[in-house]
Structure 1
Amino acid sequence: MNNETNKLIPELRFLEFVKDGEWKIETLGNLSKEIVEKTKGRKFKLMSITSGLGLISQLEKFGREIAGESYKNYYVIHKGDFAYNKSSTKLFPEGEIALYDDEVVGAVPNSIFTCFRFDINRIDPKFAKYPFINNLHGNWLKRFIAVGARANGSLQVNNKDLFSVPFAYPSLQEQRKIASCLSSLDELINSCTHKLEILKTYKKGLIQNLFPHGNEKVPNLRFKEFEKDQEWEYLNGNELFEPISDKNHNSDLPILAITQEQGATPRNLINYNVVVTEKSIESYKVVEVGDFIISLRSFQGGIEYSNFKGICSPAYIILRKKKAISVNQFYKHYFKTDLYIRNLNKNLEGLRDGKMVSYTQFSEIQLPNPNPKEQQKIADTLTSLDDLIREKTNKIEELKLHKKALMQGLFPKI
């Protein structure tokens, strides 16, 4: 938007439209019509909404279709129609508006959706979806929704307020150019996301084959140079790792947050802010690079590896390898296998959720301890995959940030 003249002109514009002047602005109600057609029992594709993903089939979301007597009152939607879901989510606190882009005729519950169809002679639906992704409607509707109304997720939104949303738009030609640009970026993001999922699936399958199953002593998949080696040795946890309680520090080391997603990471790197006193920090334990921290509280696998030197709460148990012949990165991956987590859970039967796992309980579980060279080979292979996954994840985040910035520039501020 041109701040000097306060006109409806975007900051970024394709060259062929630079001289087109201001965008028009009208209410959603003037540009679209509410859809009131109901199924009346006719069979259509049942749709639901997933925050951030838009409209997806109930079969895909729930594994089955969920509709009872009320199905006859469901709204019928066609390709190019929009559905507003009157449920508050973290991403869309005032509800989400999604484009229906399926050739098959769909149906959505009339109790939680308001549906509408744009006049395609003025608005291209593929263009229109992007202002809603930017939460155009939410920024408008928040003035009509009481603060407490979002508490249980269900929103009381008057259709009159929804259809009063101000909607800015340029010529159809410019709309299509913008839609084409952003949809190409969406396709690239989707392609990268698909490749990321393939990598994650491949890693999961590889882990299942690089470590023995159940009571087996040899993995299904073994690197050629180790095929003739003996069976893997198994030792109790306390034979490989010992608890460390080193509090010899000047409180100048970074405080580590222990999470299942990030492992042991300095709090300032992940915006994890917890107020602690200088006195309490004195009792914190030193964590060295390569240490493991038992953080299991919810029985989902929580023995975390530290890539950083720092300090952590004395509530955590820090593990350090005893034997120079064991490879830390090998156990970093092993502690995240389904097999180890199942074994750990068996050992925890009877404990209440939320109770810290003790070193004794950790010690009672046998751990594989193959040839150090084989450990290193497995660790290097899985770490290389982790690097690829991290690289692909970062690429996706960069693309999403680029898209967000592009959308802010391609649409004028209202």
Structure 2
Amino acid sequence: MLNVYPTYKDSGIEWLGQIPTHWELTRISSVLTEVKDLNTSLRFSHPSQFKFGDIILKPDVNIEDVSSLSKCIIFRKDDILINGLNLNYDFVTQRIARANYTGIITSAYIAVRVRNNLSSKYVTYLFKALDSRKVFNGLGTGIRLTLTYKELKKYYILLPPQEEQRQIVAYLDYKSNKIDERICQRERELQTLSELKQAEIAAVVTRGLDPNVPMKESGIEWLGKIPAHWEVRKIKNCLQERSEKGYPNEPILCATQSRGVIPQDMYDNRVVVVNKDFDKLKLVKCGDFVISLRSFQGGIEYAYYQGIISAAYTILTPKDKRNSEYFKHLFKSHDFIQLLQTCVTGIREGQNINYAMLAKHFIPIPPIEEQQKIVLYIKNRLYVIDEYLSKLKAEINYLQEYKQRLISDVVTGKVDVRGVEIPNEE
């Protein structure tokens, strides 16, 4: 159980409240210097980027783009970088990072360097705490709420004594590493279980539930053998396109690869919001499929709701409505997703699924009664697996929130770690 400090004083900052009596509160401009060195001599040719609270080398960069590289700032090891862009949007990638090497990054970011024997690690932990509390959001200016050093330097920073800064860093390094180890362990379990789940679904939608049933060659390269009594049909003979428009009062839908086709207001991530020409959007009915504009983890998404969606999407409806639930699982199986990758146009992340190409391919069709049994088996099996997956995700979220709360409490003086012994695990 951690202790509190013996005496506190009012910080004068509403969100911060009381701070330890012996801590100082000073403007950022007095202890941090903005890094302004531009890469004009092009000594560095490979820029860096933010990724999950770290600074890493940026892949796929054209080093011949002299104009772009010359506008980058040169940061050095232990410099602190802040992504102050678009503060009105939440970044899951985090906005604060401490550099572990010397490199360059776009001058759109803020880079600061500590002085006066201030601990760079302590300031990083403090800024991460401020970021988690959305303190920086209130400092942004302009339509997009962008933070600049001009605004940042006016803010105040907490300064414990140097020895106390070192203890805080040592304590948080130790605790953060322990929490991160637990998170990584749970994420590995999550990944393994998710892969097993997908493998089991793929097995039953392409091989059936009876392991002893006679098999035959399907004649489909991506599929291999299937139960002898199953059929194979071209996709265009199983699905037909729907292009109905003129339903402006239906809810706006979005196609997601994690949750299928759902109403826009149910999706947490950023989407382009349609606010005009509703009568030109395509109608989607429950049980239809929407071909996503881009292919990553799939691309043919099942519609759980009726509504309207961009006319740029291809809408498919099963000719036999009884096939819809079976197709939902087949289209998310690993082998079928591999097939989708052969039916795309464009390059890299912009690859779009070409339905004209896909429609010519064959898929397995079990008897309808067997489809229903497969769907019921998957539903019951998934319930058990998803319950455990949900618990793993909840634990990961709890650990991440606990880590944020712990860092915030320590760097703002809500708890006293001066007397805590840090185990030496070298």
TM-score category (smaller protein): 0.5 to 0.7
> 1:64-100 CA deviation, whole Å, 9 max, x = no partner?
99799999x996845xx233368847668xx954224
Letter in 2 for 1:131: L
Equivalent position of 1:320 in the other structure: 318
Deviation at 1:237, TM superposition (A): 2.1
Deviation at 1:62, TM superposition (A): 2.3
Alpha-carbon RMSD across the aligned residues, in angstroms, is 5.9
Structure 1 unaligned regions, length at least 5: 38-42, 213-217
Q: In 2, Cα distance between the equivalents of 1:180 and 1:75?
A: 30
Tell me if 1:175 matches 2:168: yes
Equivalent position of 1:131 in the other structure: 126
Equivalent position of 1:234 in the other structure: 232
Equivalent position of 1:294 in the other structure: 290
> 1:271-307 CA deviation, whole Å, 9 max, x = no partner?
6764479x959x974623xx1322443466532113x
Equivalent position of 2:220 in the other structure: none
Alignment check: 8 A CA contact 2:239 2:316 kept? no
Alignment check: 8 A CA contact 2:26 2:157 kept? yes
Equivalent position of 1:262 in the other structure: 259
Structure 2 unaligned regions, length at least 5: 1-8, 38-42, 217-224, 414-426
> 1:94-132 CA deviation, whole Å, 9 max, x = no partner?
x954224x5xxx322388574524666xx5544422332
Letter in 1 for 2:158: A
Deviation at 1:50, TM superposition (A): 1.6
Q: 2:365 aligns with which of 363, 369, 374?
A: 369
- Give the 3 Å change call, closer, same or farther, for CA 114–322 of structure 1 in structure 2: closer
Equivalent position of 1:26 in the other structure: 26
Alignment check: 8 A CA contact 2:28 2:153 kept? yes
Equivalent position of 1:108 in the other structure: 103
Alignment check: 8 A CA contact 1:10 1:411 kept? no
SS in 1 for 2:293: coil
Equivalent position of 1:225 in the other structure: 211
Q: In 2, Cα distance between the equivalents of 1:287 and 1:245?
A: 11
* More divergent stretch after superposition (232-241 vs 404-413): 404-413
Letter in 2 for 1:48: S
- Percent of aligned positions with the same letter in both sequences? 15
Q: In 2, Cα distance between the equivalents of 1:327 and 1:125?
A: 56
**TM, length-normalised to structure 1:** 0.58
Alignment check: 8 A CA contact 1:259 1:304 kept? yes
Letter in 1 for 2:308: C
Q: How does 1:6-405 map to 2 (within 5 A)?
A: 7=12, 20-21=20-21, 23-28=23-28, 30-31=30-31, 48-56=48-56, 58=57, 61-62=58-59, 77-78=76-77, 81-84=78-81, 88=85, 97-100=96-99, 106-109=101-104, 112=107, 114=111, 116-117=113-114, 124-133=119-128, 134-135=130-131, 138=136, 142=140, 165-170=155-160, 172=164, 175-176=168-169, 184-199=178-193, 206=199, 210=203, 225-226=211-212, 228-230=214-216, 231-232=225-226, 233-242=231-240, 256-270=253-267, 274-275=274-275, 280=279, 285=283, 287-288=285-286, 291-298=287-294, 301-306=298-303, 308-313=304-309, 315=311, 317-320=315-318, 322=320, 324=322, 327-334=326-333, 337-345=336-344, 363-370=359-366, 372=370, 375-376=374-375, 379=378, 392-393=392-393, 395-401=395-401
Deviation at 1:262, TM superposition (A): 2.8
**TM, length-normalised to structure 2:** 0.57
Letter in 1 for 2:261: A
- Give the 3 Å change call, closer, same or farther, for CA 170–195 of structure 1 in structure 2: farther
Q: In 2, Cα distance between the equivalents of 1:10 and 1:319?
A: 53
SS in 2 for 1:62: coil
Q: In 2, Cα distance between the equivalents of 1:193 and 1:111?
A: 32
- Give the 3 Å change call, closer, same or farther, for CA 328–391 of structure 1 in structure 2: farther
Deviation at 1:235, TM superposition (A): 0.8
> 1:201-224 CA deviation, whole Å, 9 max, x = no partner?
6667x3897499xxxxx87xx977
How many aligned positions are there?
359
Deviation at 1:183, TM superposition (A): 5.7
Q: In 2, Cα distance between the equivalents of 1:64 and 1:292?
A: 41
Alignment check: 8 A CA contact 1:12 1:410 kept? no
Equivalent position of 1:215 in the other structure: none
SS in 1 for 2:261: strand
Letter in 1 for 2:341: R
Q: In 1, Cα distance between the equivalents of 2:385 and 2:63?
A: 39
Q: In 2, Cα distance between the equivalents of 1:55 and 1:362?
A: 40
